[in-house]
Amino acid sequence: MTELETVFAVHSNSVRFGPGALAEAGDAARDLGMRRVALFTDSHLANATPWPDEVRAGLAKAGCEVAVYADVRVEPTDASFMAATDFYKSGRFDGIVSVGGGSVMDTAKAALLYAAYPAPFHDYVAAPYGRVLPVPGPLPPHIACPTTSGTGAECTGIAVFDFEANAIKTVIAHKWLKPSLALIDPRVAATMTPGVLASSGFDVFTHAIESYTAKPYFERERPKTSAARPMSQGANPWSDLGSLEAIRLGGRYLVRAVKDRQDHEAREGLMFAATLAGIAFGNSGVHLPHAMSYAVAGLCHSYTASGYEQNRPMVPHGISVVLNAPSAFRFTASACPQRHLDCAAALGADISGVKLEEAGEALADALTKLMRQADLPNGLAALGYGEKDLDALAKGAATQPRLLNNSPRPVTEAELREIFKGALRLW
């Protein structure tokens, strides 16, 4: 008989949060033993925002030697991860300070990994494309400074990338990839356009709702050793705390933050929600909307989102996830209806009188209402997808076992096709 899990684990990195946190990068780097620092960022951030320069100046003031790598690719690939690794290896650095969104922070994680523990690229990659070998040990220090409020990448041990040979987004995931320290400075919200803020902000909701509704840790097989316990261990009392509060803060602040660049309370609140959600899902995992998003982003190459005009055409991560979310939650609600209702209530919906069998619809409605208010695209059809693409989308999502196994309700490829169909148009 299968023995079920009885223990959950909390892995968390250090966090400093508040206006001015970026100014502490120099002292923090010295504390972590860094003298030669690689500062990772992307060219847009380096040219159009003050943050990489501010952090570089702070590091220099603290006596660190700094070399800037501004060639991080937005929506990175295996090739761009390796290019960054080459840069890191060539400089004999003590660690990385990353200033950017999820792409920048994830690229820093990968560069530290492959520089510290060289291996064929697919060795550390998630199944089914990689060998899922565990990261052998701790990595050199990494201070992550997010410039968007959504990915939570500053608090997770996950590096997302496009595996080009397989035309799919996948990940490298291990606890040792977590940054040593996150410096989260809400001042960066002022340089986010409404489009970037909306896209990354909705990722907060999906992280938190997927984390809260993930198949719980106690319904899983107990691993043979404690070291084999995955970070995606399922919903647990610790991740529930951060998830619910992130949904509540996001529900209160996201639309305000998108509509008004001067609404500092809303933008700061959203930034904290993103951090909470990152800590939560980094210890529980996400499921269907994220599994589906990797197919959406992998197949669509002609869409340009508001706020991302400087990039080549692509679907920003947050949009590729949340457009699937209402349809996915209608499907998963029957497995844990009360949890779906809790999420609808945390989003601000009035759930008095809503029956448990209506929980999926209630959550989908609450989320869709916010998406309309924030001017998000009306479903996958707005990205150019139609009925003809449903088979390919379902096939792509079906190859994400790491995420699908986290779903509270088992899902087949045929069911994924139907869920995608329900995501074509949202209103």
Scanning 57-65, 200-208, 357-365, 367-375 for contacts with Fe ion by CB under 5 A, the matching segment is: 200-208
Structure-token match 């080549």, residue found: 312
Q: Interface with Fe ion includes 106 (CB under 5 A)?
A: no
Candidate ranges 119-127, 166-174, 203-211, 337-345; the one touching Fe ion (CB under 5 A): 203-211
Smallest distance from Fe ion to CB 320, Å: 9
Q: How far is the CB of 369 from Fe ion (least distance, A)?
A: 21
Q: Among residues 85 and 406, whose Cβ is nearest to Fe ion?
A: 406
C-alpha 308/C-alpha 293 separation (Å) is 18
Burial tier of 70 (Cβ tally within 10 Å: 0-12, 13-18, 19+): middle
| Total binding residues toward Fe ion, as defined by CB under 5 A | 1
Closer by beta carbon to Fe ion, 115 or else 273: 273
- Determine if 203 is a binding residue for Fe ion (CB under 5 A): yes
Amino acid at 51: W
In terms of CB distance, is 203 or 342 closer to Fe ion? 203
Give min distance, CB of 76 to Fe ion, in A. Answer: 14
* Residue 75 found at the interface with Fe ion (CB under 5 A): no
- Angle subtended at Cα 85 by Cα 120 and Cα 185, rounded to the nearest 5 degrees: 130
| 7: Cβ contacts below 8 Å, ≥ 6 apart | 217, 222, 226, 229
From 108-116, 172-180, 201-209, 360-368, give the range in contact with Fe ion by CB under 5 A.
201-209
Residue number with the shortest CB distance to Fe ion?
203
Name the one range near Fe ion by CB under 5 A: 122-130, 179-187, 198-206, 238-246.
198-206
Which C-beta is closer to Fe ion: that of 78 or that of 203? 203
Q: What does each C-alpha distance from 190 to 90, 148, 211, 234 come to in angstroms?
A: 35, 10, 28, 34
The residue ranges that bind Fe ion (CB under 5 A) are 203
